[in-house]
Structure 1
Amino acid sequence: FHALINNAGVRGNIFYDDFLTVEDYKDVWEVNTYGVIRVTQMFRDLIKKSRGRIVICSSSSILFTSPSHGPYASSKCAVHAYTTVLRHELQPYGVDVIEILPGSFKTGMSNLDSMQKMLDTVWYRASQKLRDEYGHNYNEKAKKFIEELGPKMWAKDFTCVINSYYEAIVARRPKLLYQIGWDVLLK
């Protein structure tokens, strides 16, 4: 068994933390963080025995966390910490633990329609008092912001991400961290 690839990622609900619930966080952590931990623990003995490698995808959100992405960013920060812990713990077994840290790419998670519906869902489930505090139609401003900024940030060609995974899997001496994307390189 040469390599385990952990590439879990769901965005979950987005909006300011005032509007989010613990369940919003749990839903994202269940996939992004606990999913990675479960799969890794399931295959860890095989990887140790074969002196293989574990490749884990975190996110550029560990470098710069934007408002409204609390559940996603916190889950990926936890994945980054878990990756670092594993790297230290498995090093004596000859296991490489490699982190893929992609920036902003156009994927299924960057679908404008679903993001805007998500903003509306979170906005309208909030109390009227909270919506009044933020101002009439604040969700419309948030949707417009995403509509204008998102497409400018998302790289469409993610070949570099695929190439990084490939190198992480087959290279004789892979890097421990692959930072991919224009926005990651700026930090």
Structure 2
Amino acid sequence: MLFAHPRRFPPKDRAVVVTGASSGLGRECALHLDQLGFRVFAGVRRSDDALALTAASTSGRLRPLKLDVTREDLIWKAAARVSEETGDDGLWGLVNNAGMCLSAPMECLSPDALRYQMETNLIGHFAVTRAFLPQIRKAEGRIVNVSSGLGRIASPYLGAYAATQFAKEGLSDALRRELRPFGVAVVVVQPGAISTPIWGKVREAAHDILSGASQEVTDLYRPSFLNFLERNERRARSSTTHPESFANAVAHALTAGRPRTRYRVGRDARATSVLARLLPDAVLDAAFDAVVATRRERARESVAAQS
């Protein structure tokens, strides 16, 4: 994906923090920004990921940053370290990429699981932004919040994840409007389905959730949900959108003179945005009927057996 704008901010020596840089889109983004000339602080939780990122950096500038977005003590330590290293220059960019995805029927999801999803994908982003904001304001820099096409349309069996993305969209809009007077831009990047290691993690977590719910409930959803998981992963594996496209969008958001408020990466992300604007809820609900059809048939069988 190519972006163009007549005025650019050169990457050289501009400091950026990328959260969730251990693997997948975050890793691709951190290495790409490093290659462009940014001073990248790559947020990781484990020392082996830090070593791997350092080895993969072609510039030697990339710095791993111990950062877990669910732990405020580590967030503030990371902010202090970056502040010490950047000094009066401040922080040009914060890429809030860290996240995870729980896929399950909402009835099978425990309140604690939902809290963890929210803590990682929403509250963690807020906590990181709040800690780094004085440095970003100093540089009149950029905040890039990574969302999803599911921030516009909620799919069955991805309700918890979609809830965090809807909330992140609202948080981003509010921050963008509050921070404009300080010269700080807030941008949302919405990637569609891209083949990354996250899909294997989604499948493992889904089976754990099913095993922890009552059989009476899981029996209602299992056939259609397992079909959904398989179809979703297959779609991601065959996606023509690649991690480089995501990294290019983030780079444009960090260098454009006037960045867009939203970058939609991939045909599915762009299509979702259009459909959300044009189609009424009833039409969207009907389009998702095929996803839950097996569930409905199973429910009818269960009711018939009980009667």
**How does the TM-score come out when normalised to structure 1?**
0.88
- Rg (Cα) greater in structure: 2
- Alignment CA distance shift 1:116-1:36 (3 Å): closer
Relative contact order higher in (CA < 8 Å, ≥ 6 apart): 1
Determine whether 1:110 maps to 2:199. yes
Structure 1 residue 139 displacement after superposition = 2.3
Q: Structure 1: which 5+ runs fail to align?
A: none
d(CA) in 2 for partners of 1:80, 1:145:
25
d(CA) in 2 for partners of 1:76, 1:165:
17
Note the 1:1-187 alignment, pairs <5 A. 1-12=91-102, 14-111=103-200, 114-132=201-219, 134=220, 138-154=221-237, 155=239, 157-186=242-271, 187=274
Q: Secondary structure at the match of 2:95?
A: strand
Name the aligned partner's letter for residue 119 of structure 1. Answer: A
Structure 1 residue 149 displacement after superposition = 4.2
d(CA) in 1 for partners of 2:107, 2:119:
21
CA contact (8 A) 2:193 2:268 kept: yes
Q: Structure 2: which 5+ runs fail to align?
A: 1-90, 275-307
d(CA) in 2 for partners of 1:97, 1:115:
28
Alignment length (residue pairs) = 180
- Percent of counterpart pairs with the same letter? 29
d(CA) in 2 for partners of 1:66, 1:120:
18
- Alignment CA distance shift 1:89-1:120 (3 Å): same
d(CA) in 1 for partners of 2:189, 2:205:
27
Moved more, 15-24 or 145-154: 145-154
- Across the aligned residues of Structure 1 and Structure 2, the Cα RMSD in angstroms comes to 1.8
Moved more, 144-153 or 80-89: 144-153
d(CA) in 2 for partners of 1:75, 1:157:
23
Name the aligned partner's letter for residue 93 of structure 2. Answer: A
